[in-house]
Amino acid sequence: MVKKLFIIPGHGAGDSGAVGNGYQEAERVRALAAKIKEYGGDKVILSDFNLNSYKTDIFSNGVIPKDCLVLELHLDSSTNKSARGGHVIINAKFKADEYDQALAKMISAMFPGRAKTIVERTDLANVNRAAQKGYNYRLMECGFISNAEDISKFNAKMDELAKNILGCFKISVKQSATAPTVSKPASAPTKEKISVTYQVWDDVGNAWLPEVTDLTDYAGIFGHDVCAVFAKLTKGNIFYKVHTKGGRWLPEVKNREDYAGIFNKPIDALMMRTDTGRTIKYAVHLRRSNRWLPFVTGYNEKDSNNGFAGILGQEIDAIKIYIV
C-alpha cells in the first residue's frame, strides 16, 4: 500500500522566507506544494501550517498522521549569486532511506551545483523535532532563489518537479484536475508591471545606501537605524511618511520631491500608498528584536495591524517594498 505524503511549504504567515530575483520563497514553495497536491490527489496531504505557526507543535499535536511520509519544501539563498543546486536534509542520527536517496538524485539532476546531495543536519529545530517524534521526514532545498538560473528553472519546470517528487515517493501521477485554460483574445491587454525603487539613509555611515528595486533585495543594514526613506515608481505616484522614534508622524512626501525622515533621527514606523490602483506591500525589519514584521498594505496611523509597518518605540533597520 502506498503511504500518503504530507507536504509542508516552508515559511508563510507574514514570513516571506528568502527573497531574490523578484520572488519570495514562501510564495514559490507554496505554489509547488499545490502542484504536488494537484497531481497526487488523495495520496497527498497539503499542510495548512507554516514555519511561523508550527515550529513548537506540529510534530506534537497529531496534525500529521504517523504513517505519513513528510516532505518540507524550501528554496535556498546566498549572498554569492553564483551559488546553486538542490539537496535533501535529514537528521544525522538516521541513514538516508530509499525516498531520501531518490529525492537527492532527482533534485541534484534538475538543479545541479552542490557537491553533496544529502546533508545530515542536527542544528535545525524542525529536523530534530520530527526525528524525536518518529516521523519519516526530510527537508528539500529546490535550488537557490538567489541564483537567476535556478529560480528561472524552478518556475518553468514546476509541473515536472512536482511529478518527479511524487515519483520519488512511488505515488502515481494523476491527470491534472485543473480546468483547461481558455485562450484570451490576442488583443486582450496584459497587466503592466509597476516597480518601486527605494533607498534609506543609514545612521552609522551617515549616507544614503544603494537603491533597491522591488524584492531583489532589502534596503538597509541590519543593526544600523534607518532615518529616512526615498522612493519612486516606474509608473504613477507613491506617497509615504515616517514616524520618528519618540516623536511624531512627519508630513507625507510624494515620489522624490523630498525624502521622508530626518537625518540622524531613527524611524519606528512607515506608511505608503500609490495612485496606481494596484496594491503596495511593504514590510520593515526591527533592529533590537532582529526580525521582519509581516507585509502590510494599508495607510492609516490608527491601524497598528495593517495601517503602517513598524512598532512604535522599536527602531527600523531595513525595509522591503513591492507592487502587485
The mean pLDDT value for 188-195 works out to 77
Measured CA to CA, the distance from residue 276 to residue 258 in angstroms comes to: 20
Q: Is the pLDDT of residue 187 over 70?
A: no
Q: Is the pLDDT of residue 300 over 50?
A: yes
The mean pLDDT value for 125-144 works out to 90
Confidence class for position 59, pLDDT limits 50, 70, 90: confident
Q: Is the pLDDT of residue 53 over 70?
A: no
Measured CA to CA, the distance from residue 8 to residue 239 in angstroms comes to: 38
pLDDT value of position 118: 96
Confidence class for position 179, pLDDT limits 50, 70, 90: very low
What pTM was estimated for this model as a whole? Answer: 0.56
Q: Percent of the chain having pLDDT more than 90? A: 72
Confidence class for position 255, pLDDT limits 50, 70, 90: very high
Biggest alpha carbon distance in the chain? 66
Q: Is the pLDDT of residue 36 over 80?
A: yes
Of residues 258 and 15, the one with the higher pLDDT is 258
The mean pLDDT value for 313-317 works out to 95
Please report the DSSP string for 45-96 in residue order.
EE-S--HHHHTTTTTTSS-S-TTSEEEEEEEE--SSTT----EEEEETTS--
Residue 68 CB contacts under 8 Å (≥ 6 apart), including other chains: 3, 4, 5, 6, 45, 135, 136
Q: Is the pLDDT of residue 50 over 60?
A: no
Q: Which cell is 238 given? A: 507613491
Q: Is the pLDDT of residue 180 over 50?
A: no
